[in-house]
Amino acid sequence: MPSYAHTLAWLLGLEGVALLRAQAGDLGDAAFVERRIAEIRRMVTDPDPALNADAVVGQASTVEGYAQWAERYDDEGNPLIAAEEPLVRRILAEFAVGRALDVACGTGRHAAFLAELGHEVVGVDSSVEMLARAEAKVPGGEFHRGDLHRMPVPSGSFDVVVCALAMTHLPELGPPLVELARVVRPGGHVVLSDIHPLSLYLGGVPRVAGPDGGLRAMPASRFLASDYIGAIHGAGLQIVACHEPRWGEVPGGHGGPLAQRWCPEAAAVACEDTPALIVWKLRRP
């Protein structure tokens, strides 16, 4: 379903979150609240047409979106990846060397790390453009086109399975968790990472250009921890650990150039110390 984007509405939303955090006692004092109110007044009365830019945002598939991102994905300085990668790598480094599967492998960033650790690596992704990048990055790996519902690999054939920043693109968690449980051997581990639903509300829904030049949003389901728990148990996997790494400071500031121009303090308060991701360490009994 198409959504509606409005620059001023987005910025006022950040101001509102910052004010709600102040009211809840998280941070901020009377002077902080007065600055927010003054900033809101200034933006609402400012005649700058950029503030009133609006657009109907259509829908793009993940195949369309990642085809656009493939060339620059590793070079954009994505703050979500910067928050995710150190934790996921620490978890992956705990496992004995064996046979590893990188599901929705993208450009192969986790596949490359697993190969460096000595694993025999296989990657699966639905984007041919991303797979080309992964193959170049991990020349000793084996890569296949496929998705989280139908992976072209044998059952019970991997000691370690990692799936990073992909589940949010799916309408439900149950079937892909069953598929991940199918391919990991008994006693093996599955590591999942994904954007936290709170980050989606703070501007984390990915958007790409459409064929007409307009914006297109990629699928972004809002899965809660309880949704994951139900799907994980339903797939017959055990939860070993769950992490919710929080946003700290990010290069260039939170919210992107618009927020940094109009309300950098509000953007920082809205985002910092809120969960950026959810990361699961699972085991197949």
In tens, the pLDDT along 193-241 reads 999 999 999 999 988 888 887 889 999 999 999 999 999 999 999 999 9
- Summarised one tens digit per residue, pLDDT across range 85-110 is 999 999 999 999 999 999 999 999 99
* Whole-angstrom distance, CA of residue 86 vs CA of residue 193: 12
Contact of 197 with 224, CB cutoff 8 Å = yes
Q: Encode pLDDT of 37-66 as tens digits.
A: 999 999 999 999 999 998 889 999 998 999
The fold of 3-283 is: Rossmann fold (3.40.50)
Angle subtended at Cα 172 by Cα 206 and Cα 94, rounded to the nearest 5 degrees: 80
| Residue 1 predicted with pLDDT over 70 | no
Residue 72 class from Cβ within 10 Å (0-12 exposed, 13-18 middle, 19+ buried)? exposed
Give the sheet arrangement for strand 215-217, strand by strand: 3-6, 54-59, 215-217, 207-209
What mean pLDDT, rounded, does the chain reach? 94
Q: Predicted confidence band at 72 (pLDDT cuts at 50, 70, 90)?
A: confident
How far is Cα 174 from Cα 228, in angstroms, rounded to an integer? 9
- The pLDDT score that the predictor gives to residue 263 is 97
- Give 274's pLDDT tier (boundaries 50, 70, 90): very high
Comparing CA positions, the residue from 124, 123, 9, 121 lying closest to residue 55 is: 9
For residue 267, pLDDT beyond 90: yes
Q: Which residue has the tokens 């150039």?
A: 257
153-190, pLDDT tens digit by residue?
Answer: 999 999 999 999 999 999 999 999 999 999 999 999 99
Separation in Å, CA 83 to CA 241, 248, 250: 18, 9, 9
The SS3 of residue 135 is: helix
Please list, in sequence order, all residues whose beta carbon lies within 8 angstroms of the beta carbon of residue 211, skipping any fewer than 6 positions away: none
**pLDDT tier at 76, thresholds 50, 70, 90:** confident
